[in-house]
Chains A and B, each alone.
Chain A
Amino acid sequence: MAWFTRKDKGIQTPTEAKKEAPDGLWYKTPSGKIIHTRELKNNRYVSPEDGYHVRIGSKEYFEILFDNNEFTELDANLSSADPYGFVDSKPYTERIAASQKKTGLTDAVRTATGKMNGLDLTVSCMDFAFIGGSMGSVVGEKIARAIDYCLKHKTPFLMISKSGGARMMESSLSLMQMAKTSAKLALLSEAKIPYISLLTDPTTGGVTASYAMLGDFNIAEPGALIGFAGPRVIRETIGKDLPKGFQSAEFVLDHGFLDFIVDRRDLKARLTTLLNMLRKK
């Protein structure tokens, strides 16, 4: 028997009890800087001392982008079916229910339309807290409908990606969401409506290999992990340690796949400048 086998079951923390979001009064960044959560919120969830971008969700992004936090949410009534009757260590339906309860979200993406500094904008924003921001039928369908809305109302489209990739529990249906969203983006592109893709920490797998990389402008937050294969898979494949900064937003920018990196505190202003320039010709 291995010497490190844990005999005492009582000291394991179940996944659902682990905390992801800053909870409580103080937040500590990976480099050890400590900041009051109220101050963090006022600073667009960026640590003022080291510039660390805390992972946030659709609620916070909408609050940052839309004027006076006023927006209309679209397709909020969609939630996941269980098309494959998928069961691994627990049934998919239970995972969905647990995630909905924990996060208060219906699935891993929310769409909203509203004004950003007076400009019309439609935003689909992923929530990593919901099963790792994984893309299944609901994510694909909501993004497809968001693009339909943009086509109909001629509003620019901003996609904020934050995902581990396709959702395994919907198997091939998840895979086909890559095709589905890309088809809609092809139509948006033909209609000459601007599409900005913002990649945030982390954006990997099938999301990177579809809509996240298809922006007229691909932009990212500093330090975000961006890649197709995850770092662990690559390390196992090549049998070597990965260079420092590999798959960081800065690395991806350097290799030519991003237009620029934007500090979250400047996000609204930079997007406004960009979209305004596309309007005036």
Chain B
Amino acid sequence: MLLEFEKPIVELEEKLAGMKELAKDSDADVEEAIETLEKKIEKLKRETFQNLTRWQRVQLSRHPERPYTLDYIYGMTSDFVELHGDRTVKDDKAMVGGLATIDNQTFMLVGQQKGRNTKQRQMRNFGMANPEGYRKALRLMQIANKFNIPVVTLIDTPGAYPGLEAEERGQGEAIARNLKEMFMLDVPIITIVIGEGASGGALGIGIGDRVLMMENTWYSVISPESCSSILWRSWEYKEQAAEALKLTAKDMLDKGLIDGIIEEPLGGAHADVQASINAVKKAILDNYKELRKLKPEKLKEARIAKFVAMGEVAEK
């Protein structure tokens, strides 16, 4: 899939390929021209991706080739044991999790999972978890807590599922309970937004000692489309809504709502999946190295203090 702002780059890349083809068949000396064009492409790429608008980053966060939670888990580990079910209703396939080791350290990895094709998307419910998904996530995190295993959550969701059964089974209660219980875990929690971080559905697994966002992701109280529909009463203002919501990784870091940004390969996480996986793996290990030094009481205290400090009010 090609995004609008990628078109000029791809056009040049096609031109370059043509030129290279030409160089192979003839003796004409086009080497210099090829080099110039390569440099030009590199420059254009850099300029384009450094100056993306907020809405363009939202588009990148939803890119269909972007690595998803299981891509990261299978990419970072070789012994993943997936665990299923919330022990109450069913196994929510929009939320996945299990144990795996990274560099000899066991982690409990939990995250929303999107699907790659129509069938998978349906099975994964587009990464929109039901209450049982949040309860499964909590069950896994509490197992981790019991066996003193650090938790990593990977966020990638367009929202908690707004369905009839979700309401019957207490979507609000499930998310609320996760928020409260995650503050009570004794083990380190590292949270990474790898794609979309939509509102309560994202926050429901988002109470981390370290909360990181990948460079081209978004995290906010509402999606730009829904915000546009409510505040502007039309779906047409999503770009303005994205600007107003200030929902990018940099915006979130500026407000002190996240702890860091994981840089993506030029062109976005999907442009070099292996490099993205390596970057996430490194971030997990680096942050865990710091967090493991803290005693559980200090860890919890700092986690609570960090979130309690969030907010800006006028006091007269």
Residues of A bordering B, CB below 8 Å: 77-81, 83-84, 86-89, 137-138, 140-141, 144, 166-168, 170-180, 182-187, 189-190, 205-206, 208-214, 227-229, 233-234, 237-238, 240, 242, 246-247, 255-257
Contacts and interface: CB of A to CB of B under 8 A. Distances in A.
Nearest to B228: A88
Nearest to B199: A175
B70 to A, nearest CB: 25
Given A89-B232, A137-B311, A246 B167 contact: yes
B112 to A, nearest CB: 16
Contacts of A80: 313-314
B176 A183 contact: no
Nearest to B244: A86
Does more than half of chain A's interface fall in helix, strand or loop, or is it mixed?
helix
Contacts of B307: 176, 179-180, 183
25 contacts: A78-B314, A79-B314, A84-B244, A87-B244, A140-B310, A144-B308, A166-B200, A172-B219, A175-B221, A178-B179, A179-B310, A183-B303, A186-B181, A189-B180, A206-B199, A206-B200, A209-B200, A210-B175, A212-B176, A213-B170, A228-B162, A228-B167, A228-B172, A228-B200, A229-B162
B186 to A, nearest CB: 13
A209 B172 contact: yes
B245 A213 contact: no
Interface range on chain B (Cβ under 8 Å from partner):
35 or more
B290 interface: no
B299 interface: no
A182 B180 contact: yes
Interface string B159-196: 01111101111111101110111011000000000000
B264 to A, nearest CB: 20
Contact of B163 (A86, A211, A238): A238
A28 B164 CA distance: 32
Contact of B304 (A137, A175, A187, A210): A187
B270 to A, nearest CB: 25
A76 to B, nearest CB: 9
Interface in B217-259: 219-222, 227, 230-232, 241, 244-247, 251-252, 255, 257
B180 A173 contact: no
B160 A228 contact: yes
Interface string B140-153: 00000000000000
Contacts of B231: 88-89, 168
B232 A173 contact: no
B315 interface: yes
